[in-house]
Structure 1
Amino acid sequence: MTANRQDAWSHEDDLLLADTVLRHIREGSTQLAAFEEVADALSRTSAACGFRWNSTIRKKYTAEVNMAKKKRTVLKKEKAKSDSEMVYQHEPEEIQAAPIDHVEEVLQEKPLDLDAVIDYLQSMKAKQDVDDASMLKAENEMLKEKLEKVEKEKNVITQDYRSLLEIMDRARKLTNHSLLEKTL
């Protein structure tokens, strides 16, 4: 029997580390900040927490990490959308509704101040930055990982099935051989 180290990681420590890191990912914070938070709670160094996460825990929580990243992306989109809506509240209605080729006409009819134009351009940039590509990429990566896992499981099951058939075949042959010897 091997003795546990006094400073060995308990199951509860691992859960605290995983929950904290996943929360930080979801909220758009860094993993380093999560390691520091856990280090304070467990009287360990942040380096020890980071090592434990990267060497052991992260592998067990791959799907959860991907979901946390996806949630972070959605939250960023919502924030960008609300920020762009706030910018629109300060813009003249003519600019909001004007197609790009008619902006000059609108500007000639009613001059705008520079701040309104800057706000408008920033809101256009925010709308452009908020696209579904990043969310689809994250989902695609998650599905690829799930597919790899399912394929590995299928290969293991196939190998186990073949081994079982070989064992049954040997047993059948031994039984037939034993019967043959008895009859002789």
Structure 2
Amino acid sequence: MKGRHWTEEEDRLLADTVLRHVREGGNQLNAFEEVAQKVNRTPGACGFRWNAVIRKKEADAFHKAKQERIAKQLRRKQNSTLSLKDVIRHLREFESEYRMAWDRVSELEQELAEKKKRLREAEAEHRRLTEEWKAFENFQHEIEDRYTSLLRLFRTARRWEEQGVDAQQEPLDASVEKPEYKPIGSDAGSEKEANS
């Protein structure tokens, strides 16, 4: 399920559930757990989605829900201050939300590190293949040069043989004389005519 996008219906369900829990004096952690079971996600993912995206969109509704909760508490207790028990409960709620958000951030950092590692491996593989391809091209050019030189020497030797030149007396160097180009098979044709 990692990486699955949130739908509008899931966002609406999460917003309504959290606002309901806030109005009724419940814990946001309980709201995240309730939504997590319905949308097949973790409570941490629900908490991160709420704090990172939905809470900004539902700022007015969230503020109003908190006011309604406080009003209910005031009416029930008939005083204008929260008890120490309420303060502790709010602090624990904030701590739970912070812990879930931090866990989600840690997961995202781990995913980012893994993707960076795969990217570095892919770049290294690309460099290796590029170097191998360049080495192959250099080898291919070297083979072509050697083949060209060998073919030139072979044609020079054939030309001297036809002219009756002694290879022991003349250096067999392609640079001394560049024989004219003859199509493949032309030498054989000349020998056949000479023999006839």
Normalised-by-shorter TM-score class = 0.3 to 0.5
TM-score normalised over the length of structure 1: 0.44
TM-score normalised over the length of structure 2: 0.41
Q: Which has the higher helix share?
A: 1
Select the structure with the greater relative contact order (CA < 8 A; seq sep ≥ 6): 1
Which structure has the greater CA radius of gyration? 2
